[in-house]
Structure 1
Amino acid sequence: MRSGSTRGAAPAALLCAVAVLLLGACGTQVAGRETSPSATALPWTLSAPIRTTGAELADDQRTLTISSDVPSGPNPCVRHLKAVLTEPVANSVRVQVTFDSPSGDRRSGCTGTTTAKTRVRLPEPLGDRELVVGMSTVFTTEGAHLPALRLCGDLGCTPPATGCTAPSYEQALKEIGAPAHTYRNAEHCDGKWLVLDFSWRAGPACEDTTTGACNSHVSDRWFYKAGKSGWKSFFRTAAGGCQGVQDREPAFPTALCASLEPLSPSPSP
């Protein structure tokens, strides 16, 4: 009798062991699904476009269509896209484009970009006012091929004419990304070619102007050629005279470089 009971208990124990393993495996899979990032609700937050790429003005002179780069991916990445008028400033119309997106979390898959369009209607015709989208993207009807508005550059919608003028020299400094608070030392210009010497502070910020440490500065020299949209840099050197620049550009006039003195290689007081 005991032998028969033992033989019957063995299959029962085996079945219990298999059941435990199966249930354990199922439990592991369910737990995995519950913690999977794809099943986790990601937060949708208020966002602004990566950049604004274009604007069009309808025939009614009031309806604006604004094109912006927004996040994209295999799942929905943008909702509630809208353009809203904000307070006008000076001779401009200001518009803010916003949308909701989960792109702040890379698990959303919203790592690409696509172009999206949204419309806003002005209370009155745009006229000759500039359109400012966001903080600094500016469009104008001046010189535009309507219905598309013209996107203005870093120098504004009406950049200074290339020439031997202070605004044109400022454009030349921006063209090479001169440091903030740069000041011009000398300009040699004939309308087609330009040499620009400039300096910027290199010492610590302090009020004591009696020591060289507070007044030290670094000097630089750039050479430019006039282009269709402003001065275009082509050479940089601290050397004096004409040899370096004329090796690079033989047509550069000697009258603009013959009197150039070498620049100091280290900060000067």
Structure 2
Amino acid sequence: MRRLTTALLCLAVLVGCARPGDAPVQVGPAADTGWTTYQTDVTAVRAGADPRSLVLTVALLGDADGCSRNPRITYFTEENNRIYANVVQDSRLSGVVGACPTHTPGEVTLTAPGPIAGRTVVLNEQPWKPDGAGYQRCDPTFGCGPMPKDHCDQAWVSVVVRGMDVSRHSTGSVEGCDGTWLVMTVPFDPVPCGAEPRPGCDASVNVRRYFLRWAGQGGWETIANSTEAGCGPVRTTEPAFPRKLCAHLPRP
């Protein structure tokens, strides 16, 4: 009986020492705080004071000490009249969720052994071409060469079709274009039954007519589409669309 009483007293003392709301201590590995090297996004390129150099504006991880340090050029080589380089930064907190939610601009200087002399520069596998006093990213479609001056060129048409919600086999058939306005038909899927049609497959092709407006550097943008004859709804959406490009068109 004496032993039971002693045990109950000990239990009461332990319960009395516990405070409501006390959480158990979590024991486990801490977040990795070692410095690791990461690729840095380049947002702008301009010529440096030295003909052998370029100044790169980069996006550094930000908002906390330990997010970024030592932005720099690592890999560098010259080949086929191009300069190739990788731009990196070190971070201790990039692996910690929410630790580095923003970016801050920084600068890195790229220096070549000889004059850069207007050569294309490939930074982190992204080519940049000279553009006046600075550089601009090469177009993902047209590369570093000049873009077609003729807005009605099939290359521009192919770009806008690739951005549509249609089959990768679809192509645009231009019905009218004056450089500012474009009307064309695009099949949803030109081979709905595949290269070798299956028995019982309906091979009819769903074709729509698209009306587009030239949007400058971005190319063509769609303003309306229709399965009707003529101009369909485009004149309601955009009264400036010229009737001569669509008034006499049959159903697509």
Normalising to structure 1: TM-score of the pair? 0.68
One-letter amino acid matched to 1:104: G
> Aligned equivalents of 1:46 and 1:202: distance in 2?
47
Q: Equivalent residue of 1:123, what SS?
A: coil
Q: Say if 1:59 and 1:43 are closer, same or farther in 2 by CA, change over 3 A.
A: closer
One-letter amino acid matched to 1:42: T
How many matched pairs?
236
- Deviating beyond 6 angstroms after TM superposition, the runs of 4 or more aligned structure 1 residues are 202-205
Please list every run of 5 or more consecutive structure 1 residues that lacks an aligned counterpart in the other structure. Answer: 1-12, 264-269
Which of 123, 127, 130 is 1:133 aligned to?
A: 123
Percent identity, aligned pairs only? 22
Q: Of Structure 1 and Structure 2, which has the larger fraction of its residues in helix?
A: 1
Q: Equivalent residue of 2:233, what SS?
A: helix
Q: Name which of structure 1's ranges 211-220 and 124-133 shifts more when overlaid on structure 2.
A: 211-220
Please list, as runs of the form range in 1=range in 2, the aligned pairs for 1:19-58 lying within 5 A after superposition: 32=25, 37=30, 40-49=31-40, 51-58=41-48
Matched, 1:252 2:244: no
One-letter amino acid matched to 1:163: H
> Aligned equivalents of 1:175 and 1:206: distance in 2?
22
Contact (CA 8 Å) 2:223, 2:234: kept in 1 or not? Answer: no
Question: 2:157 — aligned with what?
Answer: 169
One-letter amino acid matched to 2:94: S
For residues 122-150 of structure 1, give each alpha carbon's deviation from its aligned partner in whole angstroms, at most 9, with x where no partner exists: 123222322222233x32223x2x2x323
Largest Rg, 1 or 2: 1
Q: Equivalent residue of 2:67, what SS?
A: coil
State the Cα RMSD in Å. 3.8
Question: 1:124 — aligned with what?
Answer: 114
For residues 206-252 of structure 1, give each alpha carbon's deviation from its aligned partner in whole angstroms, at most 9, with x where no partner exists: 65346575967553432123344343432223332124111222232
Please list, as runs of the form range in 1=range in 2, the aligned pairs for 1:91-110 lying within 5 A after superposition: 91-101=81-91, 102-106=93-97, 109-110=99-100
Please list every run of 5 or more consecutive structure 2 residues that lacks an aligned counterpart in the other structure. Answer: 1-8
Normalising to structure 2: TM-score of the pair? 0.72
> Aligned equivalents of 2:58 and 2:165: distance in 1?
27
